[in-house]
Amino acid sequence: MRKIFPVEELARDDRFVRVHMAERIADGRNATNTRGGGPGRLTPERSDAPDAARQLMHGIFVGEIQALEGAGRTCWDFPVGKVTDDTPDAVPFELKLDMARQCWDEARHCEISIKLSDWMGTEIGEFSESPFLYEAACNPDPVLRLTGVNRALEGLAIDVFNTMREFGDKAGDPMLEFCEDWMLADEVTHVKMGSDWLRRLTANDKPRQERALEFQRVVDKLFSLGGFRGEEDDSPVRLARRFRELAGFDTDEMDTLAEIAKEARLEVQAMQESAAAQRLEAAS
């Protein structure tokens, strides 16, 4: 079996529709945008709340598939042992056990998400899939892989699950609230595993640790999706600081993440304003 499995060859049946992330964001039903345009916090009061919640639930489902694939690849892609010149990508066997446990959790999350999607009136493939989450799981360095998957991707899952849990509570949907709370607990564990292994594997290699954290910052900016995740009042998904703290993030890291999300939002706003100005100029 090959190592570092390419994203183009991930197994999907004909129900799935794979698109570029920009096309997925442009979907008018996306939780990122209200029907009036621009970000909007996901609450039952939104006029488009049913579509936005169903789209986000479908996004959770395909994200869980990609998280399962990413953790599974980490179980396979790296040799067991100590880091040497011949095996610079070696990892402890205990790390693989943690990744195997995560695979089991993610598989269960896929099943839960399918049932929740059905509960909310959504079919697989009604919304599209972008493989950008799995792409963060393709780094050949296991430490960077951990930061991309277990701290960035799973960290995003903490924020999303907490948002959906709160949405279920406010909407009076105990099924949604309970399931999201159940999965949220797993995600905190997954991020904590990534935080712990990052520190253990780089305890005597600070340059490698800094490279990993820089990679995480890059991925976190991508995952902020131009305002999708942040701490502004109208951010569709809010940064879940308390749960991130339980998962091993310190205050400085969360402050940095909030700034990264704000930067991503401002960049997208600038791009939108520039595009609008160009259209206006072309029309005049």
Give the Cα separation of 13 and 125 in Å (integer).
10
Neighbour count for residue 220 (Cβ, 10 Å): 24
**pLDDT value at residue 35:** 46
**pLDDT value at residue 157:** 92
**pLDDT value at residue 247:** 94
Fold of 17-283: Ferritin (1.20.1260)
Give the Cα separation of 239 and 158 in Å (integer).
8
Measuring CA to CA, which residue among 145, 136, 242 is closest to residue 198? 145
**The two three-digit tokens of residue 66, written as one number:** 């990609």
- Predicted TM-score (pTM) of this structure: 0.86
- Are the CB atoms for 164 and 116 separated by under 8 Å? no
Give the Cα separation of 258 and 167 in Å (integer).
21
**pLDDT value at residue 88:** 87
Where exactly are the structural domains of the chain? 17-283
**The two three-digit tokens of residue 10, written as one number:** 């991930």
**pLDDT value at residue 7:** 84
**Residue 240 backbone class (left: φ over 0; alpha: ψ -120 to 50; beta: rest):** beta
pLDDT above 70 (res 86): yes
**pLDDT value at residue 39:** 52
229 three-state secondary structure: strand
Q: Kindly report, residue by residue over 170-211, the tens digit of the pLDDT.
A: 999 999 999 999 999 999 999 999 999 999 999 999 999 999
pLDDT bracket for residue 22 (50, 70, 90): low
**pLDDT value at residue 104:** 95
Measuring CA to CA, which residue among 161, 158, 183 is closest to residue 245? 158
